[in-house]
Every structure is written in C-alpha cells, then in structure tokens.
Amino acid sequence: MNERIIELEEINPKDFFGTNNSTIEQLKRYFPKIKIVARGSHMKIYGASDVLDEFEIRMERLIKYFNRYNKLDENSIERILTSTGNDEKLAASKNSKEVLVHGVSGRLIKAQTENQRKMVTLMAKNDMLFAVGPAGTGKTYTAVALAVKALKEKEVRRIILTRPAVESGENLGFLPGDLKEKLDPYMQPLYDALRDMIPHERLESHLEKGVIQIAPLAFMRGRTLDNAFVILDEAQNTTHNQMKMFLTRMGKSAKFIITGDPGQIDLPRKQVSGLKESLLALKDIEGIAQVYLDDKDVVRHRLVKQIISAYKSIETE
C-alpha cells in the first residue's frame, strides 16, 4: 500500500475539513479504497498508486476552490469530485467580471457604486490611478480589493500598503510599545480591509513572509517597488517631497493606487498637499488615470452621506 502526504498551506484545517471532519467523510464516500488520516494541516493517504493519483488531482481542485472562495460546502465538494474541471473554470469566468474578491466565509466583494466600478475599469487600463473623494466612499476598500485580486491571480508578487503617519507628529515617541505597536493604529483601516478579504492564517503568513507589507510612507524611501500592487492611502497628508518620493518608487510590472480626501488635510496650514499638486501636474500623462468619488458613492451608514452634504454646503458658502 502506497502512502502520500498532502499539505494544507496557509489554510485553517478546521475551515477546510469542516465541522466534525465533514469534508473528510465526504471524501471517504467518493474514494472508499483510500484510507485518509488527517492530522493538523496535513493529510496522509494510503492506497493503490492510480487511485492516489486521482485523489490528489481532486484535492488540488478542492484547495484551489477554497483559496478562491474561502469556503467549502457539501454541494461544492460534490461538484468538484465528480466534474472534469471545466465547469469550475466556466463558473469562475462568469463571476470574474463582477466579483473582485471572494472574501472570508465566501463573502462577495464587488464594486458597489458607479465610481467604484470606474476605479476597477480604469485600473485595468492604467498602471497608476488617483482615487479621490470624501470618507466612506469605499475608495480605500476598493483599492485593497483590487490589490488582493491581483495577488490571487498572480499578476503581482506582493502588496504594499502605506500611509503618511501625519497625525502622530512628535507625539509618536510617547505612545507605548515598539515601533510596530506605535504605528499600527494609523494602519488599522488597511488591516481591517485585508481581514475581510483574506483568511486569518493566510493573512498572517503573507505578512510574515513580506508578501503583504504595511508600512508608513517614510519607509518607502530608497526602495524600488517591482512586481507589486502599491496603495498610498490618505495621500492628502503627503507633502510635495513625500509624494514625489513615493511616485518615483514605481518599478517594473507595478500598479499604483493613490487615494485621498482633499477635504481632510491634516498638514500645517501653510503646507501644500502633495495630492493636490500631483492631481494637477500628472492629469495629462498617459497611463495615469483619475477618478473622483462623491457623496453618491458613500457605502457607510445613511447619515454619513447627509453629513458630507451638510459640510459641503458650509464649505461652499
């Protein structure tokens, strides 16, 4: 009797094997001639060589399905175990145009408004995109979804997310903890978006291996960002020099999205926002696109849209 080992890399075994090992039980029904022993994140299988070959093919499809949709249910398992594989590709192609990412627990993450959909379209045609608009319009969330999609589809090798830690100022040193603990509060919105889209074990592995990097803007200096999907968030708080430094980090096969809200600048009064400058200076360069989101794109609580409108009327008086 032959023995082989199948590893579940960056997958929570409980999520994959199901409640009371329901996935294992279903596999045993379809492969009665194979002995299956699951221990932690690996599975030992025993049986004739030709049957093990077929089992490994089906397991590879199950793992790919789980990595794409972040869930497995009885119907999905049955379809994958009995299909040729072509119907899974067809189903994926049907969904790919609308769904950006299948998030945690199979959550469908899509562009929800016209301007969010414009972000998706423009990013497909350009290597750099400025997405500008007020809080709550989903610009950062959509940008992160596009980055995760590119990583999953192997269009890039890594994701780099950055923000200027303007709010910290000189008080940063007085915050408790090491440098990471001091900076994490400023990066929290980026972590929140990633946790919606990537299962915990895989996200932690990506962060540990540097496949996903989250760092303040100052850490970008001197780097060349190749084969990466890079997002600069809260770009309204960059200075002229910071924005120029960031934009010139762009390496080969890179995608850049710059998001910001010109109405929420935290720089000193006489300091010009690097975002405002770049929107004017780069507007006619081919390969760089701009999209402007507004209160119609707000996807938070219904009051947020009304709050934005109310402040807009005050600021225009």
Residue found under tokens 């970008």: 220
Contacts of 19 (CB under 8 A, 6+ apart): none
Q: pLDDT at position 241, please?
A: 93
Q: pLDDT at position 173, please?
A: 54
CB atoms < 10 A from the CB of 48, how many?
A: 12
Q: pLDDT at position 86, please?
A: 56
Residues 2-96: name the CATH superfamily. Answer: K Homology domain, type 1 (3.30.1370.10)
Going by their DSSP bridges, the two strands 288-292 and 128-132 should be labelled as parallel
Q: pLDDT at position 166, please?
A: 60
Report whether 194 contacts 141 (CB < 8 A). Answer: no
Report whether 100 contacts 124 (CB < 8 A). Answer: no
User: What's the start-to-end Cα distance of the chain, in Å?
Assistant: 82
99-315 shares the fold of 2-96:
no
pTM (2 decimals)?
Answer: 0.73
Give CATH for domain 99-315: 3.40.50.300
Does residue 224 come out as left (phi exceeding 0), alpha (psi in the -120 to 50 range) or beta? beta
Domain ranges across the chain: 2-96, 99-315
Q: pLDDT at position 170, please?
A: 39
Q: What length is written for the chain?
A: 317
Mean pLDDT, 10 residues at a time, the chain of 317 residues: 86 84 89 89 90 90 82 82 62 61 83 91 96 91 95 94 67 56 74 91 91 89 94 93 94 96 85 92 95 84 76 69
